Amino acid sequence: MNRRLLSLLSLLACLVAAAPAWSQAPAPDAGPYVPTPQSIVDAMLAMGKVGANDYVIDLGSGDGRIVRTAARRLGASGIGVDIDERLVKMANDEAAREGITQRARFVNADLWNFDTSKATVVTVYLLPSIMPRLKEKLLAELKPGTRIVVHDYPMPDWKHVDYQALREPLKVQAHGLDTAYLYLYVVPPKK
Ligand SMILES: C[S@@+](CC[C@H](N)C(=O)[O-])C[C@H]1O[C@@H](n2cnc3c(N)ncnc32)[C@H](O)[C@@H]1O
């Protein structure tokens, strides 16, 4: 093996070692489509103090109700990303019907490959099993001060700054309980 090839191989080894853990393992399924009831959408946006200056990213956006509500009722901008093309079309069609396509749009992509760095608020309603990996991704990408509002399944080993348990009968269909649990996290300053 010549010297050039050796140095190329050692560079590759360094890059792999330096890559964040979440980018190495195969992307896990983040969960099926279960829409957040509208009362809980409203509570999530209130908890995140979403306003007209915010850019909201919903990871796994379903029919787009979180970003659409943020745009329609609060004047925010944002984007939703979903792996299901059919849901992305539904969300964009609804946004068009509501006349908010300038501020709310939806893209068909895998959330693990989606750059979240532009967000001022991130919303999450995904499987508990992916939370450790999602936490690493968000801490690596988001600006300090970005709010993350999580529905039902908290981030492991991260102290939330706000918490609410809200009664909502529509939750029974989704997971047998009539309560939604909301957690607010704020990205800390970089070390
Ligand atoms: C529980 S639903 C939440 C929908 C919406 N955020 C809401 O709260 O109403 C989860 C969504 O994540 C999407 N999803 C699952 N894995 C994904 C992935 N790897 N990338 C993007 N979206 C994904 C599903 O298609 C589904 O629409």
Q: What is the pLDDT of residues 160-173, one digit of tens each?
A: 999 999 999 999 98
For ligand 1, the distance from its centroid to the CA atom of residue 20, given in whole angstroms, is 23
pLDDT for 27 equals 64
For the ranges 6-10, 22-26, 114-118, 154-158, the lowest mean pLDDT is seen at 6-10
At 106-139, the pLDDT tens digits run 999 999 999 999 999 999 999 999 999 999 999 9
Provide residues with CB under 6 Å of ligand 1: 27, 29-31, 33-36, 58, 60-62, 65-66, 81-84, 87, 110-112, 125-126
**Residues 146 and 119: beta-carbon distance below 8 Å:** yes
pLDDT tier, 11 (very low <50, low <70, confident <90, very high otherwise):
very low
- Domain ranges across the chain: 35-186
State which of 125, 171, 173 you would mutate to test the pocket of ligand 1, scoring each by most atoms of that ligand within 8 A of its C-beta. 125
Q: Which residue has the higher pLDDT, 2 or 108?
A: 108
What distance in angstroms lies between residue 94's CA and the mean position of ligand 1's atoms? 17
The domain defined by 35-186 folds into Rossmann fold (3.40.50)
Taking the centre of ligand 1 as the mean of its atom positions, its distance from the CA of residue 89, in whole angstroms, is 14
Which pLDDT value is given to residue 26? 56
Whether the per-residue pLDDT at 53 is higher than 60: the answer is yes
Q: How far is the CA of 14 from the centre of ligand 1 (A)?
A: 34
Nearest ligand 1 atom to alpha carbon 151: 8
Mean pLDDT of 68-96: 98
Ligand 1 atom 13: residue of nearest CA: 60
The CA distances from residue 26 to 10, 110, 130, in Å, are 23, 12, 12
Return the HEC string of the chain. CCHHHHHHHHHHHHHHHHCCHHHCCCCCCCCCCCCCCHHHHHHHHHHCCCCCCCEEEEECCCCCHHHHHHHHHHCCEEEEEECCHHHHHHHHHHHHHCCCCCCEEEEECCHHHCCCCCCCEEEECCCHHHHHHHHHHHHHHCCCCCEEEEECCCCCCCCCCEEEEEECCCHHHHHCCCEEEEEEEECCCCC
Widest CA span in the chain: 68
List pLDDT tens digits, range 20-48: 444 455 566 888 999 999 999 999 999 99
Residue 13 reports pLDDT greater than 50? no
Torsion, Cα 14 19 142 187, to 10 degrees, reads -90
